[in-house]
Structure 1
Amino acid sequence: MRYLKEISTVLVCMFFSVNATCQTKASSVTETETSVEVKKKKKKRKKYKLSKIDLSHWSVTTPELNHKGKATNIEPPEILEYATDKRLIPYMYNDSIKGGLVFYAYPSNATTANTKYSRSELREQMVPGDNNTNWTFKQGGTMKGVLKVDKISKDSEGKYHKVIIMQIHGRLTNEQRDLIGQKDNNAPPILKIYWHKGKIRVKTKVLKNLEATGTELLHEDAWGDDDGYTFDQKVGHKKFTLEVKVSEGKMVIVLNGYDYKVYEDIHMEKWGVFENYFKAGNYFQSRDEGAYAKVKYYKLEVSH
């Protein structure tokens, strides 16, 4: 009997020992599985990114007609709700995987004054909601963007369409407008930066008559187009950095931090008569049926 009791005791001890071990292993496996699941969830969360571009000093024009039959324009503070604004969602939206802000444009009837092309493009507003406060070259300014032309259509010959991705647009003050008897405040763009055939091309304005002074300078027909300049490096559909720096009598365009084009001449000096504002986005340069472009901005900063 004593022998049977000892065997029984040993078996009971073995049972509890094995059971404890199994529970420990099961607990360990459960903890490991939970840990793996948490890590997977964290990885999944990291994939979603939102644009960090501050839109509080920008308005946007899109290729959609508004109720007045003109191109839709959204100003601050409404533009800050672009992610849920049905008017903007098709033309200005987040790439939540890459963290970029996409501008989509195609040929539409929603064009603005003095152009046949449509756009999904930002317009700088130094004072949110006000187009009457702008800056001169003497005051200076810098615009820097990290972007890429994500997708763009081709023409009937298999060549890519082109798109303007940055601008500096001139503007008449109300006094200048009235002085020359013009109906609006529009002045020529001193700078247009194109994505063209996978390269960055720059166009600016030059005076037709270098002796022009005073009110002569205010008329749009006093200014013509230069021959343009194309940077050697090809950006294609890859991400690149573009910076525009202006100061009194000078304008500098910098591609990827090391490739420069400098304008410092009489044309820049006399341009000082105008006010200006920055533009950035997708000003699509085609009327071909089925044509389109998507320009993606990862960063966009302006300072004065």
Structure 2
Amino acid sequence: MNYIRKEILISILIIFISVSVTGQNNDRSAAESGIKIKKSKKRKKKVKLPEIDLTNWKVTIPEGKGKGGAISVEPPEILDYATNETLKPYMYNDSTKAAIIFYTYPTSATTANTKYSRSELREQMVPGNDDVNWTFKQGGTLKAKLSVDDVSRDKNGKYHKVIILQIHGRLTNKQRDLIGQKDNNAPPVLKIYWQDGKIRVKTKKLKYAGVNSIGILHEEAWTDDEGFNFEEEVGFRKFQIEVKVTAGKMVVSLNKTEFAVYDDSNMKRWGVFENYFKAGNYFQSRDEGSFAKVSFYELEVNH
């Protein structure tokens, strides 16, 4: 019995040594022939979260019932946007590239004074309060890194336009009551568009330079300028926008290489209004089946 066990153990030992030597010889042969042996490793996908502080922003999405039914989510609720089921279709994380995605398409839920849908942030200097804003005299700087990832085309094959950044004007309660307006809305002094792969800037100018201090508060006193197109084509790549506002002056830059400078009487007289920054995806189409998706990697505001 002991003899049989001994024979079995010897046989197992011989097989083990044979397999081990064969493996070493195969490795040596592969090395000599220049073949690299790769050991399979399971790679874990890295989760990257965007480093954007939403403490001073609220978001409006094209969700709601009926015309003008768009809803907004303010701080502190917006800080949990990643788990907010209502926001998820329109504002969500892309953890592969550390970005917040803003997605929108035409819906019946819009905001006042517009027919277009938006998934867009609105600055709140005091979280949860729309009544505290800033003037050109106080100044402000916005820096953003973003990309337009996907946009539908119109019937002529051109991409639909998207407003990605804005400075919107606002009347104080006193100004609103003075001109008998029902709300605090004033014109946007700045709109930055993504248009066919390029960045276009539009601002406001007075229809009549001599308008008085009350007339200037009416939206009808202002009109759009002719617009400015940056030369660089950004396409669907990342790009950087910086907007810097000081008393009577506004400067918009693209990738720190091109600049649009507004320093004239229109900007000086715009100082009568309060303002707030906006950022995201304000989609400029009502075409059936149209859509746009915008990624924000960085967004920072200082006053």
**CA distance in structure 2 between the aligned counterparts of 1:68 and 1:75, rounded to whole angstroms:** 21
**Contact kept in structure 1, 2:281 and 2:294, CA below 8 Å:** yes
SS of the residue corresponding to residue 282 of structure 2 reads strand
Which residue does 1:123 correspond to in 2?
122
Contact (CA 8 Å) 2:90, 2:103: kept in 1 or not?
A: yes
Q: Residue 275 of structure 1: CA displacement?
A: 0.1
- Structure 1 unaligned residues grouped into runs of 5+: 1-11, 26-35
Give TM-score, length-normalised by structure 2.
0.86
| Structure 2: runs of 5+ lacking an equivalent | 1-9, 24-38
- Whole-Å separation in 2 of the counterparts to 1:110 and 1:245: 32
- Contact 2:169/2:189 (<8 A) preserved: yes
Give the conservation status (yes or no) of the 8 Å contact 1:66–1:72.
no
Question: CA separation in 2, counterparts of 1:258 and 1:230?
Answer: 14
Cα distance in 2 for residues equivalent to 1:92 and 1:67: 21
Structure 1 residue 86: Cα displacement: 0.8
State the shift of 1:147 in Å: 0.3
Letter in 1 for 2:301: V
Number of aligned pairs?
277
Aligned partner of residue 82 in structure 2, secondary structure: coil
TM-score (norm 1): 0.86
Q: Which residue identity lines up with residue 208 of structure 1 in the other structure?
A: K
Q: CA RMSD in A?
A: 2.3
Q: Which residue of 1 aligns with 2:75?
A: 76
2:68–2:110 CA contact under 8 A, matched in 1: no
Look up the match of 2:163: 164
1:270 aligns with 2:298: no
- Please say if residues 171 and 274 of structure 1, whose CA atoms lie closer than 8 Å, have aligned partners that are also in contact: yes
Matches within 5 A, 1:60-139: 60-65=59-64, 70-139=69-138
Q: Tell me the amino acid that sits aligned with residue 137 of structure 1.
A: F
Aligned residues of 2:162 and 2:281 also touching (Cα < 8 A): yes
Distance 1:221 1:169 in 2: 15
SS in 1 for 2:210: coil
| Residue 57 (structure 1) shift | 0.5
Instruction: Give 2:7's aligned residue.
Output: none
What are the Cα deviations for residues 254-299 of structure 1, in whole angstroms up to 9, with x where unaligned?
A: 0001110000000000000000000000000000000000000000
Q: Percent identity?
A: 64
When structure 1 is superposed on structure 2, of 57-66 and 146-155 the one drifting more is 57-66
Between the aligned partners of 2:154 and 2:274, the Cα distance in structure 1 is 36
- Show structure 1 runs of 4+ deviating over 4 A: 66-69
Q: In the aligned structure 1, how far is the partner of 2:142 from the partner of 2:96?
A: 25
Q: Which residue does the alignment assign to 1:141?
A: 140
Partner of 1:299: 298
